[in-house]
Structure 1
Amino acid sequence: MTTEDAVTAQAVDSLHGTDDPRLRELLTALIRHLHAFASETRLTQREWEAAIAFLTATGQTCTDTRQEFILLSDVLGLSMLVETVNGQSEPDRTESTVLGPFHMTESPVRALGDTIDLVGDGEPCVVTGVVRSADGTPLPGAVLDVWQADPHGFYDVQQPDVQPPGNGRGLFTADDEGRFRFRTCVPSAYPIPTDGPVGTLLKATGRHPYRPAHIHFIVSAEGHTPVTTHIFVAGGEYLDSDAVFAVKESLVKDFTPTDEPSLAREFGVPNPFRHARFDLVLERS
């Protein structure tokens, strides 16, 4: 008679011909943990079929502009766990957080000081900062890929008939002193998409779908490890209950109300406006 342990042993043994040692390690651990889960929970045939149907529906929901599997990984905390497992070795480096499911299109190249808000119906805001190495040296030519939702909580790829392509996105190059700046609107909290399998899962578990207001960044520079991160709006809702567990205290920044006409003219925004300062520190590769 085949026992549960025997089934697991046979499945693991089937990998003995795998040439890639890391692939063999990963698949071995995956089989053992999945089998242990099924045995521990006494998984029924009906539940297994429901899980297969859920994963199938998750894949079928993915498109060129929507990644439901990343969203699923996010709400299960797996994305944030992978970020944590691969955390930086230099403690002063800017902390990383999740990529999210909407980095689906290429950000348009923009000049320093340009706006990424092509619609202009939100509260004006300027984001400035400096990109440095861990030893404090500025990193001229650092590249910053930024993207955010509009003031109503939607990304451009979610509303192709409403928002122009590239709205809320920009690819910037830091100046000779590592400085960057761009104009935008103050981001707002928003719900992740709930019209697919992930939304069904959240509803079944009694969880809300909201993310606190934030702007995404991927920052890179020659000789340094890129960082994927956010800047979160201090004082906003859901900072303590982010649906994807991505908030880190060091990434929460003030979007300071600013009433300085001369500074507004310098930045090219109406007065008053909000000003967020976000300095980034990269780790040497």
Structure 2
Amino acid sequence: MRNINENTITAAVLDRMAECPSPRLKEIMSALVRHMHDFAREVKLTEAEWAAGIDFLTATGHKCSDKRQEFILLSDTLGLSMLVVALNHAKSAEATEATVFGPFHVQGAPQLALGDDISGGAKGEPLFVNATVRGRDGEPVADAVVDVWEADAEGFYDVQRAGLDRPQGRAVFRTDAKGRLWFRGVMPVAYPIPTDGPVGVMLKATKRHPWRPAHVHFMIQAPGYETLITHVFRGDDPYLDSDAVFGVRSSLIGNFASRPDGVAPDGSRQAGRFHTLGFEFVLEPGPH
């Protein structure tokens, strides 16, 4: 133990964890040590490079706040978030696919009645959403809790608006007895993820763009079913094949239809262009 070198140190660290009381923690930490050490040996990591890595992670932590999670953004842009989703949420062919949670969900969004407007004054062309939530066998899922959030026409979420004192573009609904959900929001647009922090530095250094294709977020929870966290994407978006966080799935591309004016699905007359989205969410059976 007094003459550890680059070839024997991994075994020495693993030996120190031999008495770990949690088998799962021991498995995770042991694999982490092995892969980190192999990585350092493979790239012949220098002290200056490792110091720069520590500085990067420190800056990532400093950029986090109650309204921004830079570590989630880092995980998303490295594809780790989507990998973990894929490992943990393999779906049957009938069920709606899951995708990344993202860094802009907020607990305690306003609870609205079906048909209400979630925009809260956010800029954007009107979008009327009509959706259904059902189980894998076709049964309607009544009283499901549906959390919805989206960016405005300029690509910003409410938590990115300094000084904004009210929620915009987010709400919580409950489906009706037939599993139906309908509300008004704004037409989603493509937007860049925040690049004013360490993640932005990383994207620039690796010559990657920061854009996400236009989408609306949904989180659906109901007793007896797995919680579904997903997006619905616009099919005409130029970034569908290069999403900065690797979250696009073909099955999640929705049918966004547009009209120049006329009567909207809620019976209101729209003097300008408006849009509609119909989508069916299918939940997997589960304990939650």
The TM-score with structure 2 as length reference comes to 0.94
Equivalence for 2:45: 43
In structure 2, give the amino acid aligned to 1:250.
S
Question: Are the counterparts in 2 of residues 118 and 164 from structure 1 also a CA contact under 8 Å?
Answer: no
Q: CA deviation at 1:270?
A: 5.2
- 2:245 is aligned to 244
Q: Distance in 2 between matches of 1:260 and 1:180?
A: 23
Q: CA-to-partner distance for each residue in 1:5-39, whole Å, 9 max, x for gaps?
A: 31000111111121111111000000000000001
2-structure distance, mates of 1:60, 1:265: 45
Distance 1:138 1:267, change over 3 A: farther
The answer (yes or no) to whether the contact 1:126–1:267 under 8 Å persists in 2 is no
1:6 aligned partner: 8
Name which of 137, 140, 144 aligns with 2:139. Answer: 137
CA contact (8 A) 1:264 1:272 kept: no
CA contact (8 A) 1:79 1:98 kept: yes
Amino acid at match of 1:233: R
* Cα shift at 1:260: 7.5
The answer to whether the Cα contact below 8 Å between 1:148 and 1:215 also exists between their aligned partners in 2 is yes
Structure 2 distance, partners of 1:120, 1:61, is: 26
User: Residues 217 and 264 (structure 1 numbering): CA distance in 2 closer, same or farther, change over 3 Å?
Assistant: closer
- Write the letter of the residue equivalent to 2:171: G
1:32 alignment partner, SS class: helix
What residue number does 2:160 align with? 158
- Over 3 Å counting, the alpha-carbon distance change for 1:259 and 1:177 in structure 2 is farther
Partner of 2:22: 20
SS of the aligned residue for 2:92 comes to coil
The unaligned stretches of length 5 or more in structure 1 are none
Counterpart in 1 of 2:119? Answer: 117
Work out whether residues 157 and 165 of structure 1, in 8 Å CA contact, stay in contact via their aligned partners in 2. Answer: no
The 8 Å contact of residues 100 and 230 in structure 2, kept in 1 or not, is answered as: yes
Partner of 2:256: 255
CA contact (8 A) 1:264 1:273 kept: no
Residues matched between the structures, number: 284
Residues 259 and 271 in structure 1, CA contact (< 8 A), matched pair in contact too? yes
Unmatched tracts of structure 2, length 5 or more:
none
Aligned-pair Cα RMSD in Å = 1.6
Q: Which amino acid aligns with 1:98?
A: V
Name the structure 2 match of 1:277: 278
User: C-alpha distance in 1, partners of 2:165/2:257?
Assistant: 28
Match of 2:173 in 1: 172
- Structure 2: distance between partners of 1:20 and 1:37: 26
Shift of 1:225: 0.4
1:72 is matched with which residue?
A: 74
Superposition map of 1:195-214 within 5 A: 195-214=196-215
Conserved? CA contact 1:131–1:282, under 8 Å = yes
The structure-2 alpha-carbon separation of the partners of 1:267 and 1:78, relative to structure 1 and needing over 3 Å to count, comes to farther
Distance 1:134 1:87, change over 3 A: same
Assess, with a 3 A threshold, how the Cα gap between structure 1 residues 136 and 20 changes in structure 2: closer, same or farther.
same
- AA aligned opposite 2:194: P
Mapped partners of 2:194, 2:260: distance in 1? 36
Relative to the length of structure 1, the TM-score reads 0.95
Helix, strand or coil: the match of 2:73?
A: helix
Q: CA deviation at 1:164?
A: 4.4
- Structure-2 change in CA distance of 1:155 and 1:263 (3 Å): closer
Question: By how many angstroms is 1:3 displaced?
Answer: 2.8
Q: CA deviation at 1:148?
A: 0.6
* 1:94–1:282 CA contact under 8 A, matched in 2: yes
Q: Please point out which of 79, 103, 106 is paired with 1:104.
A: 106
Aligned to 2:173, what secondary structure does the other structure show?
Answer: strand
Assess if the C-alpha contact under 8 Å between 1:64 and 1:104 holds in 2.
Answer: no
* Alpha-carbon shift at residue 271 of structure 1 (Å): 5.8
Deviation at 1:250, TM superposition (A): 0.6
One-letter code aligned to 2:33? I
> Per the alignment, do residues 43 and 127 of structure 1 end up closer, same or farther by CA in structure 2, a change over 3 Å counting?
same
Residue 276 of structure 1 aligns with an amino acid whose one-letter code is L
